[in-house]
Amino acid sequence: MSEQISAELQAKIEHVAGLLKQAEADYANGIVFANSLGAEDVVLTDLISRYAPGIRMFVLDTGRLPEETLKLLAQVRSHYGNLKLDVYYPEAADVEAYVAENGINAFYESQALRKGCCFVRKIKPLKRALSGQQAWITGLRREQSVTRDEIAFSEWDEGNGLQKLNPLADWSEKEVWAYIRANEVPYNELHDRHYPSIGCAPCTRAISMGEDVRSGRWWWENPENRECGLHPATPLKFK
Write out the catalytic residue numbers.
Answer: 228
Q: Are the CB atoms for 47 and 23 separated by under 8 Å?
A: no
Is 118 flagged in the annotation as binding? Answer: yes
CB atoms within 10 A of CB 153: 17
Give bridge partners of residue 23 from the DSSP assignment: none
H or E, element range at 10:
helix 7-27
Q: What sign results for the dihedral spanned by CA atoms 212, 213, 214, 216?
A: positive
Q: Cα–Cα distance between 233 and 227 in angstroms, integer? A: 8
Is 92 flagged in the annotation as binding? Answer: no
Is 117 flagged in the annotation as binding? Answer: yes
Q: Cα–Cα distance between 144 and 207 in angstroms, integer? A: 14
Instruction: Report helix, strand or coil for 32.
Output: strand
Q: Cα–Cα distance between 72 and 49 in angstroms, integer? A: 16
Q: Cα–Cα distance between 191 and 197 in angstroms, integer? A: 8
User: Where do runs of H (alpha helix) occur along 29-186?
Assistant: 39-51, 67-79, 92-102, 111-118, 124-130, 173-183
Annotated binding site: 117-118, 200, 203
Annotated binding residues for [4Fe-4S] cluster, written as ranges, equal 117-118, 200, 203
